[in-house]
Structure 1
Amino acid sequence: MVKCLRVGLHRSTMAMWIQAQQLQGEALHQMQALYGQHFPIEVRHYLAQWIECQLWDSVELDNPAEEAKAKRLLDNLVAELQRKAQLQGGEDGFLLKIKLGHYANQLKSTYDRCPLELVRCIKHILHSEQRLVQEATNASCGSGGQAMDSLSQRHQQINQAFEELRLATQETENELRKLQHSQEYFIIQYQENMRIQAQLSSLSSLPPAERTQRETTLQSKRATVETWLTREASTLQKYRLDLSEQHQKTLVLLRKQQTLILDEELIQWKRRQQLAGNGGPHEGGLDVLQSWCEKLADLIWQNRQQIRRCEHLTQQLPLPGPMEELLSKLNADITDIISALVTSTFIIEKQPPQVLKTQTKFAATVRLLVGGKLNVHMNPPQVKAVIVSEQQAKALLKNESTHSESSGEILNNNCVMEYHQATGTLSAHFRNMSLKRIKRSDRRGAESVTEEKFTVLFESQFSVGGNELVFHVKTLSLPVVVIVHGSQDNNATATVLWDNAFAEPGRVPFIVPDKVLWPQLCEALDMKYKAEMHSGRGLSEDNMVFLAQKAFTSSSNNPEDSRNMTISWAQFNRESLPGRNFTFWQWFDGVVELMKKHLKPHWNDGAILGFVNKQQAQDMLLSKPNGTFLLRFSDSEIGGITIAWVAENPNKQGERLVWNLLPYTTKDFSIRSLADRISDLNHLLFLYPDRPKDEVFAKYYTPPLSKAVDGYVKPQIKQVVPEFTTPKSEPSGGTPTFMDQTPSPSVSHPNNFGVYPSMSHTMLDADGDFDLEDTMDVARHVEELLRRPMANQWSSQQS
């Protein structure tokens, strides 16, 4: 069986297509509607296994550099279709062979110049099928008495409401037709009455005897018709009033459904999108929202057209009563509803980067969720992007500013919305924007430039219904912090993280609380950490206790002590930690950067305890055999990690001490990896609590050096801790070198053609206290080493 790797597909091969074919009713109709000339359903059927096993989700649709990957997928799809066609034989297979070959040529012709559109189309199909199958599965589970999750229940509630609205709209359509037919018959009878009246008026020219007879007949007939007209006029009035009441009830249902979708589901999607900026789960679900918004648009438009027809009928046959006022209010209400829908569904699908560096290219995508349904693409609107300050954003939302003032200049800030027929999406992809300059406002108090928030405003104008309604739509991006140098990235990220984590829906731009509960911040830090590690292993409760001790300068080991404490923005990233020249966030972010760049596999393996202070490390190690070590983050240095181990005191027999190595940083690991450094130090035997170090780190060791190339022997860098080495003479009687006392239990090392020079004793002591200014970092050691001539203990070959 072929293993399917497509993201999000966790079923066996072809299982999705098999289940999709078993859909019933409206779900089956929706599934079938996914296919057409842009992608024939026959291709999906005969290549189901192949399609479901491709990495469609790995292609970034908004990245032009991904076009080559998309082109390979297109070529492979065409080749697979052609291969499938050639396999068809016999009388029954002849027509299929021709059809599949035709589809291969058709897809090649359609997508050869725009292969990303093919990927967009297939991704939309697969995700839609998955959603339909999941909804059908949940529904069947519910009918069997099993509890559905809250998401499925909400979706079922929305779908049921749509069915009610569909039936109500169909009912008013039927009643409207009856009214129209009744009114048309009434007008015919009214015309008949007018004809009788005319005949009566013309009787004066007839002889008296004949006139009397004819007059009696016509008057009797007129009386009958007028009685019917009087009765029918009352009936028509009642029909009209009943119909307006039905429309009012439908509008109430429409408002309720629209509120549920726009004020709950769409707001939740936007909230998930904001949390994704902190590393939360990818927002997803936009196609589902679009399908709901399109259904709303369709139903609203149908009801609006019905109300317009009612108005026409009223104008055609005025009758006494309040109908004109009722219909005028209905028309205003339905226009308000559709206006709210259109303006609310102009959304940012892909946010601009929230830390925005000037003179740097960036991208964003905006989308109109109802654009395809309202045929906006027939006259594609243009979208403009401008950057505005927090104060300007407030004025825009209060309607105090009708024109968009800018706080900077964005290059390539105009884009036409494109309609993608395969997915039914109308969107504008800004691929090459760049912030040329920024105009900052006066800052308050201790606020720095990295605390100042801006936003990218996207705006457009378009009409629907043949210019019947004109919409001016605007939407604001998530807050962005503008920087001019990479050194500002750390503090800007803190502003963004705090805003994303603690912003309330519907807030005034861009107000956030100055203080939050400590567990709330822990949740945000954990989300960020897990995202950077690409792992489910986030921050444990013990890690949170350590961080609380650091943030609040507390010594408590009880997690309950910090549960009700609050931490302010100033404590988070404005005030330095006691005795340090950096803030809590700067320390934490340094850890994240170090782990992300160099130590991610070791964290995910559980090899790094990390969040342990010096005293805790000492207490933990003194209860273990000599040679036991652990890895913890440095308290004194941003982005540093140190090795602590227990060993005998070389100056006092029988005494055991915990030693701490000078912290490593990103610069050190760019020269030699953590695993290789641990391998070099043979006095390190067991990773706390009792795991042999090679069992944990051997898979990350660098393989032994290869033989000499072009007559040269490549030197090897090796780490040495002088206090834990003893001199050992070369077999040939050459110059002695430092070698470790104890060989590594299971890994043998080749002869080393170069080692670090002996480290100064000031770099290491039993308490792990270092004077960083009096020592050289590892990078400078390496530079010094490589500038030296080859010593006589190095092997050499003739050039």
Structure 2
Amino acid sequence: MAMWIQAQQLQGDALHQMQALYGQHFPIEVRHYLAQWIESQLWDSVELDNPAEETKAKRLLDNLVAELQKKAQVQGGEDGFLLKIKLGHYASQLKSTYDRCPLELVRCIKHILQSEQRLVQEATNASSGSGGQAMDTLSQRHQQINQAFEELRLATQETENELRKLQQSQEYFIIQYQENMRIQAQLSSLSSLPPTERTQRETTLQSKRATVEAWLAREASTLQKYRLDLAEQHQKTLGLLRKQQTVILDEELIQWKRRQQLAGNGGPNEGGLDVLQSWCEKLADLIWQNRQQIRRCEHLTQQLPLPGPMVELLSKLNADITDIISALVTSTFIIEKQPPQVLKTQTKFAATVRLLVGGKLNVHMNPPQVKAVIVSEQQAKALLKNESTHSESSGEILNNNCVMEYHQATGTLSAHFRNMSLKRIKRSDRRGAESVTEEKFTVLFESQFSIGGNELVFHVKTLSLPVVVIVHGSQDNNATATVLWDNAFAEPGRVPFIVPEKVLWPQLCEALDMKYKAEMHSGRGLSDDNLVFLAQKAFSSSSNNSEDYRNMTISWAQFNRESLPGRNFTFWQWFDGVVELMKKHLKPHWNDGAILGFVNKQQAQDMLMSKPNGTFLLRFSDSEIGGITIAWFFYVGERLVWNLLPYTTKDFSIRSLADRISDLNHLLYLYPDRPKDEVFAKYYTPPLSKAVDGYVKPQIKQVFWMSLLSLLHSGMLSIHEDALTLFSTDRLRCCPVRADGMLDPDGDFDLEDTMDVARHVEELLRHLHLETLTPAKPTGLQPGQVGHSGRSASHFVIQVSL
């Protein structure tokens, strides 16, 4: 409802644009009386290219019709009677129009709502002046384009008026010319008259002929000047058309394609295609009007040939206008929805191509067919250089032909490829260290159609963004790296598919941040500290100053070809593992600010050492792809920071992070000082309250074991001070007794950290001749409370006799 209220406040051209959205396909009265209901529906949840969504669309249609009928029934009074009839008629009309194609109704309403939102946003920015510099610049650019269109409209109208004047003048000239011919014929017939009468009439006719011929001479000169002036005006108009077309095709459309490419890396939705289409349609309309005017000029010239350069001028104008419209048509054959850039063989995929001027040029009157083929990088180069006249293929795509359909509600002409599948791929010879996941292909879409009654025939082609073909899911990670690098650093107008081998570190940071924010679906991306951590990892550096990395370059090899020092994975593989883990399991916690993540082990220790007992933080594992670990401070006789074995996707598919943290009672405060329940309690799994079908469902809980040393320090286990043992911070080593009764420090008896307490005690009894086992002094842990061992606390003193 709020959007409709704002839309009603639009003025001028914006109001006309809004009104133009409605018609027989969707009456504006329906929008008005069902505004609140329409804006409350989840139109965006319907995938227009998925036939399986038709049931959902049909339900929306039925609900819309029901709402209209309900609204009609409550109308009363004299005015209400007419409205009741009208709304009932609209309900029947919408039902009959969209009952067989409910997805078209959804497409129509989505288009209307998006257009209204854009118009309201533009009007708000223009009036408030507080939309930010970027929006101000956008509004100014759009205003300049619209002003240029107004100039072109006026220029075209002026040449149309001049052409009509020329036509009228020429028609009158022809009439006078015919009059002159009639006088000449009369003079020729005077020979049969008597001399006296012949002389009298001859004098009159010759005088009249002289007058007419003088007028014809003057008028011929005037007509020639009119023609030359009109040709000059057309030259100026064509110059303005070229300039406007350059702005729209070489700037606005290229920027849209760039935004579409960045969207592949997680950039904002490209948007603005409907605005581009409206501009291209205005161009097409103006170009076609001027072309028709030039052709009428040619017809007038042929009808009344006059000496002068008009034939050559008009021939040149005709060629120029044809070039302009050819450039417009071929450039506006675009890919609205790109195929997936990581393309797996034997897997269904979709794409949509659109002709932005198709509706305006009535191409849909004879719907063209579009064909899709996959080509290699070398074949793409040859196509762009016009070295190849026919489309060679590097593979076989099933269901690769589709007819373009005209959608009246949105005025778009497009072809939706819904069920394509790459059956096979033919790879080229690789260079050097290049892997199959670095080889780029592209999907070529091509079509042929005519306009103006077969007057002009066009063969149009467009290439998709580069795609990397894989045959197994294990290749997805490296293929994604190739795509991300290409999307981020490709230059407009490049030779397919050249990208720089090295880029500045801040450029890569921007790409990584864009990817990360998109996967997290929030504005919380990578902070400066996060980026410093990533730089340290990428460059194997220890500097904490972001300025030190600002002018450094990172190569493709450093990004995803060479393994990190001491690891068997690359920088990208590590980063992508983090993204996948966060996206699948930890997104809410990142958005809550609960995960620091990009912190190394030493940094975690420095941060925790000064904090209260039980303070912990979450950081990404350095040693494992897609792993996250808990680092926590726990005082056990000395100040120690512990690091839990990293969790991975497999672990979180068993038990969530929040529940795991809940299980560990010794974790008390999330760094720096937030009580853990305050942060994680809303994500805990509720406890089971009752049995189901007579069965109590078992519940998984997390425990872990600490070394015997930590138990000793914590007071949970005590050994008599006469016992001679050697300790280390992460492992207890007990020395076995030799035959002579002395301890053997070179013995190889080790107690592993993962050994449970019972085994520790059993081994000590066997090797150290333990005599008695007595309760220890209280440690502050009550029986049944989970300690570091993850078991109920049992307190022992082990008295040792050597």
CA distance in 1, matches of 2:454, 2:528: 60
CA distance in 2, matches of 1:348, 1:508: 19
Partner of 2:711: none
Asked whether the 8 Å contact 1:351–1:477 carries over to 2, the reply is yes
Partner of 1:306: 293
Query: Which deviates further from its counterpart, 757-766 or 382-391?
Result: 757-766
Report the CA distance between 1:709 and its aligned residue. 3.1
Report the CA distance between 1:54 and its aligned residue. 1.9
In structure 2, relative to structure 1, the CA distance for the partners of 1:778 and 1:234 (3 Å cut) is farther
SS class of match (1:17): helix
Report the CA distance between 1:702 and its aligned residue. 1.1
Asked whether the 8 Å contact 1:662–1:770 carries over to 2, the reply is no
Report the CA distance between 1:25 and its aligned residue. 4.0
SS class of match (1:726): coil
Q: 1:630 aligns with which of 614, 617, 626?
A: 617
Report the CA distance between 1:144 and its aligned residue. 15
CA distance in 1, matches of 2:49, 2:592: 34
Report the CA distance between 1:94 and its aligned residue. 1.4
Asked whether the 8 Å contact 2:751–2:760 carries over to 1, the reply is no
In structure 2, relative to structure 1, the CA distance for the partners of 1:760 and 1:277 (3 Å cut) is farther
Q: Structure 1 segments of 4 or more deviating over 6 A?
A: 142-148, 724-728, 757-787, 791-799
CA distance in 2, matches of 1:655, 1:617: 17
CA distance in 1, matches of 2:549, 2:743: 35
Asked whether the 8 Å contact 2:335–2:464 carries over to 1, the reply is yes
Partner of 2:763: 784
Offset from partner CA, 1:26-59 (integer Å, 9 cap, x none): 4333322222221112211211222222222222
In structure 2, relative to structure 1, the CA distance for the partners of 1:794 and 1:199 (3 Å cut) is farther
Report the CA distance between 1:213 and its aligned residue. 1.0
SS class of match (1:312): helix
CA distance in 1, matches of 2:742, 2:517: 34
Offset from partner CA, 1:337-369 (integer Å, 9 cap, x none): 000000000000000000000000000000000
Asked whether the 8 Å contact 2:737–2:744 carries over to 1, the reply is no
SS class of match (1:370): coil
SS class of match (2:797): coil
Report the CA distance between 1:306 and its aligned residue. 0.1
In structure 2, relative to structure 1, the CA distance for the partners of 1:97 and 1:794 (3 Å cut) is farther
In structure 2, relative to structure 1, the CA distance for the partners of 1:229 and 1:655 (3 Å cut) is same
In structure 2, relative to structure 1, the CA distance for the partners of 1:770 and 1:91 (3 Å cut) is farther
In structure 2, relative to structure 1, the CA distance for the partners of 1:779 and 1:149 (3 Å cut) is farther
Offset from partner CA, 1:630-680 (integer Å, 9 cap, x none): 1110000100111111xxxxxxxx411111111111111111111111111
Partner of 1:665: 648
Unaligned 5+ runs, structure 2: 704-726, 767-792
Report the CA distance between 1:705 and its aligned residue. 2.2
Report the CA distance between 1:131 and its aligned residue. 2.8
In structure 2, relative to structure 1, the CA distance for the partners of 1:522 and 1:184 (3 Å cut) is same
SS class of match (2:340): coil
Query: Which deviates further from its counterpart, 145-154 or 403-412?
Result: 145-154
Asked whether the 8 Å contact 1:346–1:367 carries over to 2, the reply is yes
Offset from partner CA, 1:675-721 (integer Å, 9 cap, x none): 1111111111111111111111111111112333344332222212x
Report the CA distance between 1:141 and its aligned residue. 5.2
Offset from partner CA, 1:189-227 (integer Å, 9 cap, x none): 001111111111111111111111111111111111111
In structure 2, relative to structure 1, the CA distance for the partners of 1:371 and 1:704 (3 Å cut) is same
Offset from partner CA, 1:379-398 (integer Å, 9 cap, x none): 00000000000000000000
In structure 2, relative to structure 1, the CA distance for the partners of 1:793 and 1:564 (3 Å cut) is closer
Offset from partner CA, 1:587-633 (integer Å, 9 cap, x none): 00000011111111111111110000011011111111111111110
Structure index of larger Rg: 2
Partner of 1:157: 144
Offset from partner CA, 1:390-430 (integer Å, 9 cap, x none): 00000000000010000000000000000000110000000
Partner of 2:683: 700
CA distance in 2, matches of 1:522, 1:768: 53
Offset from partner CA, 1:97-118 (integer Å, 9 cap, x none): 1111111111111111211100
CA distance in 1, matches of 2:619, 2:738: 22
Unaligned 5+ runs, structure 1: 1-13, 646-653, 729-756
Asked whether the 8 Å contact 1:519–1:563 carries over to 2, the reply is yes
In structure 2, relative to structure 1, the CA distance for the partners of 1:548 and 1:727 (3 Å cut) is closer
CA distance in 2, matches of 1:704, 1:786: 40
In structure 2, relative to structure 1, the CA distance for the partners of 1:666 and 1:303 (3 Å cut) is same
SS class of match (2:406): strand
Offset from partner CA, 1:507-539 (integer Å, 9 cap, x none): 110000000000000000000001111111100
Offset from partner CA, 1:734-773 (integer Å, 9 cap, x none): xxxxxxxxxxxxxxxxxxxxxxx99999999999999999
Offset from partner CA, 1:49-106 (integer Å, 9 cap, x none): 2222222222221122222221221111111100000001122211211111111111
Asked whether the 8 Å contact 2:342–2:470 carries over to 1, the reply is yes
Partner of 1:617: 604
In structure 2, relative to structure 1, the CA distance for the partners of 1:414 and 1:145 (3 Å cut) is closer
Asked whether the 8 Å contact 2:108–2:410 carries over to 1, the reply is yes
Q: 1:576 aligns with which of 543, 558, 563?
A: 563
- What is the identity percentage for the equivalent residue pairs of Structure 1 and Structure 2? 94
SS class of match (1:707): coil
In structure 2, relative to structure 1, the CA distance for the partners of 1:143 and 1:495 (3 Å cut) is closer
Offset from partner CA, 1:236-264 (integer Å, 9 cap, x none): 01100000000000001000100000001
SS class of match (2:445): strand
C-alpha RMSD of the superposition: 6.2
Query: Which deviates further from its counterpart, 44-53 or 386-395?
Result: 44-53
Offset from partner CA, 1:276-332 (integer Å, 9 cap, x none): 000000111110000000000000000000000000000000001100010000000
CA distance in 2, matches of 1:786, 1:472: 89
Asked whether the 8 Å contact 1:711–1:797 carries over to 2, the reply is no
Query: Which deviates further from its counterpart, 692-701 or 376-385?
Result: 692-701
In structure 2, relative to structure 1, the CA distance for the partners of 1:96 and 1:637 (3 Å cut) is same
In structure 2, relative to structure 1, the CA distance for the partners of 1:770 and 1:471 (3 Å cut) is farther
CA distance in 1, matches of 2:531, 2:167: 71
In structure 2, relative to structure 1, the CA distance for the partners of 1:455 and 1:672 (3 Å cut) is same
Asked whether the 8 Å contact 2:129–2:136 carries over to 1, the reply is no
Offset from partner CA, 1:526-567 (integer Å, 9 cap, x none): 000011111111000000000000000000000000000000
In structure 2, relative to structure 1, the CA distance for the partners of 1:759 and 1:265 (3 Å cut) is farther
In structure 2, relative to structure 1, the CA distance for the partners of 1:133 and 1:621 (3 Å cut) is closer
In structure 2, relative to structure 1, the CA distance for the partners of 1:588 and 1:100 (3 Å cut) is same
Report the CA distance between 1:133 and its aligned residue. 3.3
CA distance in 2, matches of 1:459, 1:471: 10
In structure 2, relative to structure 1, the CA distance for the partners of 1:21 and 1:695 (3 Å cut) is closer
SS class of match (1:718): coil
SS class of match (1:282): coil
Q: 1:487 aligns with which of 467, 474, 484?
A: 474
Q: 2:457 aligns with which of 459, 466, 470?
A: 470
Report the CA distance between 1:774 and its aligned residue. 11
Partner of 1:655: 638
SS class of match (2:800): coil
CA distance in 1, matches of 2:685, 2:131: 57
In structure 2, relative to structure 1, the CA distance for the partners of 1:702 and 1:145 (3 Å cut) is closer
Asked whether the 8 Å contact 2:627–2:647 carries over to 1, the reply is yes
Report the CA distance between 1:161 and its aligned residue. 0.5
In structure 2, relative to structure 1, the CA distance for the partners of 1:231 and 1:658 (3 Å cut) is same
CA distance in 1, matches of 2:747, 2:194: 134
Report the CA distance between 1:576 and its aligned residue. 0.4
Q: What TM-score, normalized to structure 1?
A: 0.87
CA distance in 2, matches of 1:395, 1:585: 32
In structure 2, relative to structure 1, the CA distance for the partners of 1:411 and 1:776 (3 Å cut) is farther
CA distance in 2, matches of 1:780, 1:355: 52
In structure 2, relative to structure 1, the CA distance for the partners of 1:138 and 1:580 (3 Å cut) is closer
Asked whether the 8 Å contact 1:675–1:698 carries over to 2, the reply is yes
Asked whether the 8 Å contact 1:573–1:584 carries over to 2, the reply is yes
In structure 2, relative to structure 1, the CA distance for the partners of 1:726 and 1:98 (3 Å cut) is farther
Partner of 2:503: 516
Instruction: Work out the number of aligned pairs and report it.
Output: 744
In structure 2, relative to structure 1, the CA distance for the partners of 1:655 and 1:795 (3 Å cut) is closer
In structure 2, relative to structure 1, the CA distance for the partners of 1:694 and 1:765 (3 Å cut) is farther
